[in-house]
Structure 1
């Protein structure tokens, strides 16, 4: 860095990120697909949290609008995304995501040698998944039967350690199948999760070539969450750090270095603008909201006691819904539903001003509107632990 290097402070950066993520004010133009595309996906391990995360960013929207975009209009797709976790992505962006996922170096298998599949077996399983789901919505047990029938008994061996038993061998390829564009989630059948092939809804999902997809993904990520380092990008994707560093070096000219609170970080070339007015306000973000999961560094986003109260012991973000004050984590919250009644408990880490308490009331009302219920606010201790 030198004297000419642009300098950005944490308040400026948090404002940029919140403004671009429609958190300063909800968007009056974008629908669910536009919001999800800008966020580079919405974490959907808890689908209700994803619905809240997206709808909060859209003026007047409720969870029903997000559900319609996902299950009716097919503008969104629920599938394994960044870090292999369940996300909402846009169907329009699938060529980008599949091209990037298919070309990013894979991390070593976490499974013992006797559990792993050979490269040939993996390809057989992925092909069987794609073919089996092309005209059906199957539960995991039904998909097991289809994969074993297409490949052989070895695919059904119960060798993978699971929560309450063991899973069949083939299931270690589910994320890869999603990243190849042949597996996504379908609507639940009662309480059972089902899967299908996104090609059932799309005429074509031709992936972008790997280098192009990787570069565009960096640019999308930096637009939403920059300034950021290659290590931040690698952590967000769960990709090798060395690969990410090489990719950033190869993009010289397309991205540029800035001074972010005294440390080097990167933005898209020429993208150093800051919204004119500083953000002052309160926001309630649900589990695994993109702002708190993707934005770095955690030390600035989760200052002081927030790092103890709102992060897991390993430093993982998103496991608690958070209270933001002026773009920084300042507490946690929880909601419990009973019929139409929604009990919202908010635990600030420091006393809130009268203005902030008034804004908190507004945020709770907005949460209730999105969830189509009647909210009741309690300011007190949240006793519910972190989500796994």
Structure 2
């Protein structure tokens, strides 16, 4: 097998794992999030587009229902301290595993903002009472409750206190109100705990979920995606190997038995329009297998921006933009190079699906 063939095969397996290649599409939002474990969600519309791209005819209303009616998926700060949508049953153990480090690394920023430990405790109590008595509440409404504590309503102090309460398991994102996020009490919104890994095996479970959604990969990819220290990531990786849960694949690691045919088929190139900040493109330390080096700056122009991307069987072939006005929605694609006819045909179908989704938003 040549190096080019190896790269193509690894990319195809990753694309299938992420439900963006090989004809793989999940039936509903909960199935999508369950498969990929975490959808990057700092941009709420982009998160919905990311779920759409991995599903079969999933519309905005189905995604709203999964968040708000079924409560099968939930949005919060998890891997790397970034907003993600994850299975609701996994929220609590993820917070127990990840939040202590995130809170610790946030100490410097708390000091810069004048948010000492006493103020943070008072803010946690205030926010707990606010959502218990009046929730769901928007960020602005929660900020109003913090002002009597001496918190400046302008700037980042209130945001960091809200995030602090979320990391401590007090708040979680609730229903949207007129397109704006609200916060609710975690215990009220997601009362069921579900089956959770023991604390001593939680990091290994996170590694297992990662490999199922992103494999084949290596431990440095897992550390970069999760935000765990490399030492802890390596320990989790070794624990999976010791349990016989992993296998070597082309110099990388995969879950044992991964890559088997799951029955999905595709008659031609599998084209997807991935949103800005999509987890497929943020899930690895290196972008070499997913974005051609010559076009990397078109996808990552700098300043923390990650543009919406057109992929074919997991390989980026262009970028795209959306424009929504009233009842109309336009999608503009900028390919890196001229596209073959079969790709153009599949792209037309995918573009029409995105337009329909955006019109229904």
TM-score band, normalised by shorter chain: 0.7 to 0.9
Equivalent position SS for 1:187 = coil
Q: Deviations over 1:233-281 (max 9, x none)?
A: 2221233223322332344323546354xxx433234546477989733
8 Å contact kept, 2:225–2:285? no
Aligned length: 350
Deviation at 1:174, TM superposition (A): 3.1
Moved more, 300-309 or 279-288: 279-288
In the other structure, the counterpart of 2:139 is 140
Q: Deviations over 1:144-180 (max 9, x none)?
A: 343465xx43xx157xxxxxx5233x54243342233
What does 1:1-388 align with in structure 2 at a 5 Å threshold? 9-24=6-21, 25-27=23-25, 30-102=27-99, 104=101, 106-107=104-105, 109-111=107-109, 113-115=111-113, 117-119=115-117, 121-135=119-133, 136-147=135-146, 152-153=149-150, 156-157=151-152, 166-168=155-157, 171-190=159-178, 193-205=181-193, 208-254=197-243, 255-256=245-246, 258-260=248-250, 264-271=251-258, 273=260, 280-295=269-284, 297-313=286-302, 319-372=306-359
Structure in which a larger fraction of residues adopt strand: 1
Structure in which a larger fraction of residues adopt helix: 2
Structure 1 pair 141/61, CA: closer, same or farther in 2 (3 Å)? Answer: closer
Structure 1 pair 109/139, CA: closer, same or farther in 2 (3 Å)? Answer: same
Q: Deviations over 1:349-376 (max 9, x none)?
A: 1111111111111111221233346xxx
CA distance in 2, matches of 1:333, 1:301: 16
Provide TM-score, normalisation by structure 2: 0.83
CA distance in 1, matches of 2:343, 2:180: 42
Provide TM-score, normalisation by structure 1: 0.78
CA distance in 1, matches of 2:117, 2:186: 24
Deviation at 1:334, TM superposition (A): 0.8
Equivalent position SS for 2:242 = coil
In structure 2, list runs of 5 or more residues that go unmatched.
none
Deviation at 1:328, TM superposition (A): 0.8
Q: CA RMSD in A?
A: 3.1
